[in-house]
Amino acid sequence: MARLRGLFSRAAAPPRVDRIVVGLGNPGDGYANTRHNVGFQVASRLAKRARAEFAVKAADSRIAEGAIGDVRVAIARPQTFMNDSGRAVRKLLDRYRVDPSALLVVYDDVDLPLGKLRIREKGGPGTHNGMRSIVGEVGEGFARVRVGVAPVDAAAEIGDLVEHVLTPFTADEREIADQQVARAAEAIEVGLREGFGRAMEKFNG
């Protein structure tokens, strides 16, 4: 009986991964197409590149486990709301038994115009509440990809920030937004395969 329990406990253990990629967003259909859920959209696109499905429900997240080249990766969409993202990230690190240095977070940024990406290997949270929650839980020592959601026209007024990020892209913005999501997923793949220094050289334009 003890041997059987040992077999079942080993079977239940999560696979080893080299990297955890977390796309930030809010759960629920009402938020799916909003600017604030760009992180979810990039995570979904990256999972397709890894031929992985979001089949695992654990660590307050939906998780797709797969590989990008030789890099074993868990791609997660936290199911906490944005302001509590740190709780899910801490559980993900515990689940896979990795340090924050194995983490990459992708999220929307109102300080960047639509169509722009910024990749950094570590740093502070800026003004993003989800990132503040994560940094509060695990510190600043993890990579991140910021995806611009500010108007392309620098002179355009955003108005209320909360309303801006919780509304969908306009019809005029949609094509650029779709291209940006694909480009962000490509940037993460380059980072995983070749290192994030190389990704910064190529995509921080």
* Residues with active-site annotation: 36
Query: Are 103 and 97 contacting, i.e. CB atoms less than 8 angstroms apart?
Result: no
Query: Are 92 and 76 contacting, i.e. CB atoms less than 8 angstroms apart?
Result: yes
- Whole-Å CA distances, 141 to 21, 120, 122: 14, 10, 5
Instruction: Give the amino acid at 180.
Output: Q
CA distance 140 to 131: 9
